[in-house]
Chain A
Amino acid sequence: MHEPHEAMLYDQVLLKVEHLKRYFNTPKGTVKAVDDVSFNVIKGETLALVGESGSGKTTTANVILGRYTATDGSVFYKDVEIGSMPLTKRPLWLRREIQVVFQDPATSLNPKKTVKDIIETAIRIHYPKLNKYERMERLLELLDYIGLTEDHLFKLPRELGGGEKQLVALARALATNPTHLILDEPTSSLDVSAQSRILSTLLKIQKDRGLTYILITHDLAVVKNISHRINVMYLGKIVETAPVDDIFGEPLHPYTQMLLSSIPTISEEESKMLPKGVESRGEIPSAIDPPSGCRFRTRCPFVMDVCSKEEPPLKEVVTRHFVACHLHNKNV
């Protein structure tokens, strides 16, 4: 964790997700991509959504962004219900305030447009009253802030390195002055050498502008470096929620332990930090017909009788540390 946690006010909720469900109908059956998920996002924090592909993290983000509407449940942003509001129906102020940075800048930036065009379009749409000189001024200010220079203005994405491309994508998101940024795997398509530049820029932006982030990733080293709290998701459910240090210090859910022990490390120091004994096995089952009871039971080394019968509730075990597991659900 990168700064004192207490600095954030736990009662200042910016985004509230309540019993969110998102199902997709397919010829084979209904895919329950997100199945009854509730969490809060606190103003100014970075909340990480972690889990394997198929765990529902991107679907959750897409509902918040308005690319999908919720099948059931609700999403409140500053007390406005946005879960059932598709992107096209959203007012401009809302689109301005919630922005997104996608995984691969090579595909999220138009290859035929220059850096100037890419960022200016966002400014023009959201601030139509500015004339072209004011737009340019704003653009340069933004580039400078993000660590790019005027030299980049008339370059095409292919002329930039991976890290710089992602910075342009980030600048485009910032062009509208958002309050809430969704980062969908912002570093996973980048080389190691470029990753830390993006991460430190993200930290700087958050510090200066008080932005709230939702970070979707499967790279736990990234999570460790920039987030405050973690939601671990598995097959459409949240299985553990806790501040970063608690997750890394004392992971409670066997799935979290499995995730952590799977990280390849680059020094002895790091290896010592990770839990041993929960070796990764099996694959995430189909979300069409998830296992009964606890959804993780098919891969869990500690599986018990009760696991197949009852679904474990998400319970607060230590302060702010919630876990959904029968191992920690004894004192019902």
Chain B
Amino acid sequence: MQGAGPLLSVKNLYVKYKSYWYTYHVLDDVSINVKLGEKVGLIGESGAGKTTLLKSILRVLPTQGKITGGEIFYKDVDLLRCSKQRLLEIRRKNVGMIFQDPLAALNPVFTVKDQMLEVLRYANERADMNKSDLINMALDLLRDTLIPDPERVLNSYPFQLSGGMRQRIVIAMALASARELLLADEPTTNIDVTIQAQILKLIGDLVEKKGLSMILVSHALGLVRKMTDRVYVMYGGNIAEEAPTSKLFNEPLHPYMQLLLKTAPKLVESPLTEGIKSIPIDYRNPPTGCVFHPRCPYGDQEVCRKVKPPPIEVEKGRFVRCHLYGSGS
């Protein structure tokens, strides 16, 4: 984490989805950066734009998604303007992504072996590579992810394996191309807590061992707290707050994050609250001013309705976009 510029930096990114009739303003001025060896979390409810952000980084947005402004730099490569070839190389050799649904991420008509070898072949373009080398590499990766009996698993089809097993394979495949950065998009939703604990420990250990940087996307607060150094809180296509993990959970600043922590069902004795008023955001026509103001307990002020709050640095490394923390004026 010491010195050096960021490994990945996203600056003022705007993403829109266009349908025949409407334009959806999904990401609105999003900036994040990831330093070498850093584990960054991305919290937010469904529809906050977390996955869109990750997909923009890899440039794998669906066709109706357009990046309309901002820049994404991976080290010194401008991902929005670099050649197709360069982009492919980065996807193949530097950045790996764990997709959300392991069953959808794996092709049902090919064996695990077919799918893993394809990834490995592209990740290791060397003339002297032959098939048995690749198979050995695949087996190593499966062993890394603590899969019992890797030979059998390698020759299985995805449907023959359990959910936890499939997730491990998806992780193994992501690791094949993640030499520097791992993007993990909700790696453990729909998985039992026990298996979730195992998978998280596994990801944590592997990231540590291989010295990777990571972006972990999740709406599960506990998970992000456990796994990351620094967190971005997303709401409605905006970064609402940025803070070191422990500080964020001890003393959240943005009203959205405060409410989230307050309303989450807890193990310790605490009364259940009414929750946050749930108003789905209409991305065709997002709220003016602060996107959170229709749901915010302090959102009835004029400034909230009219002016979009700029990021305010409250202390070093802690940013919040909220008028409550005025710029001292």
A263-B222, A264-B220 given as contacts; is B194 within 8 A of A52 (CB)?
A: yes
A196 within 8 A of B: yes
Say yes or no: A265 contacts B265, CB within 8 Å.
no
A259–B192 Cα distance when bound, in Å, is: 9
| Contact digits for A40-57, partner B, Cβ 8 Å, 1 yes 0 no | 000000000000110000
The closest CB in chain A to the CB of B195 belongs to: A283
The secondary-structure label for the interface of chain A is helix
Say yes or no: B266 contacts A164, CB within 8 Å.
no
* Stretch binding the partner chain, chosen from A19-27, A91-99, A187-195: A187-195
* Stretch binding the partner chain, chosen from B2-10, B26-34, B174-182, B256-264: B256-264
| Contact digits for B20-57, partner A, Cβ 8 Å, 1 yes 0 no | 00000000000000000000000001100000000000
Report B62 CB to chain A, min CB distance, Å. Answer: 19
* Stretch binding the partner chain, chosen from B81-89, B123-131, B196-204: B196-204
Say yes or no: A197 contacts B274, CB within 8 Å.
yes
A267 within 8 A of B: yes
B324 within 8 A of A: no
The closest CB in chain A to the CB of B219 belongs to: A191
CB neighbours of B201 from chain A (8 A)? 279
Q: Which of A161, A195, A248, A261 contacts B267 (CB 8 A)?
A: A248
A164-B278, A261-B197, A264-B200 given as contacts; is B266 within 8 A of A270 (CB)?
A: yes
CB neighbours of A52 from chain B (8 A)? 192-195
CB neighbours of B194 from chain A (8 A)? 52, 258-259, 262, 280
Interface residue ranges of B90-127 to A (CB < 8 Å): none
A161-B278, A259-B193, A283-B164 given as contacts; is B273 within 8 A of A200 (CB)?
A: yes
B283 within 8 A of A: no
Report B54 CB to chain A, min CB distance, Å. Answer: 18
CB neighbours of B195 from chain A (8 A)? 52, 280, 283
A224–B273 Cα distance when bound, in Å, is: 15
Query: In the complex, how many residue pairs between chain A and chain B have their CB atoms under 8 Å apart?
Result: 133
Say yes or no: B273 contacts A196, CB within 8 Å.
yes
Interface residues on A, range: 35 or more
| Contact digits for A235-259, partner B, Cβ 8 Å, 1 yes 0 no | 0000000000000100000000011
Say yes or no: A267 contacts B268, CB within 8 Å.
yes
A159–B280 Cα distance when bound, in Å, is: 8
Say yes or no: B193 contacts A200, CB within 8 Å.
no
Interface residue ranges of A186-225 to B (CB < 8 Å): 187, 191-200, 203, 218-222, 224-225
Q: Which of B162, B196, B265, B280 contacts A283 (CB 8 A)?
A: B162
CB neighbours of B164 from chain A (8 A)? 283
A258–B192 Cα distance when bound, in Å, is: 12
A329–B4 Cα distance when bound, in Å, is: 60
Interface residue ranges of A248-302 to B (CB < 8 Å): 248, 258-259, 261-267, 269-270, 273-274, 279-281, 283
B60 within 8 A of A: no
B326 within 8 A of A: no
Known contacts A193-B263, A195-B275, A280-B198, then 12 further A-B pairs from the complex at CB < 8 Å, ordered by chain A residue: A52-B195, A162-B278, A198-B275, A221-B264, A221-B266, A224-B265, A225-B265, A264-B225, A266-B221, A266-B249, A267-B266, A279-B201
**Which 10 residue pairs of A and B lie closest in terms of their CB atoms, listed nearest first?**
A264-B222, A197-B275, A161-B278, A262-B197, A191-B45, A52-B192, A193-B276, A200-B272, A280-B194, A221-B265
6 CB-based A-B contacts, threshold 8 Å: A162-B46, A195-B263, A195-B264, A196-B264, A199-B265, A280-B195
Q: B: which residues have CB within 8 A of A? A: 45-46, 162-165, 192-198, 200-201, 219-223, 225-226, 249-250, 259-261, 263-268, 272-276, 278-280
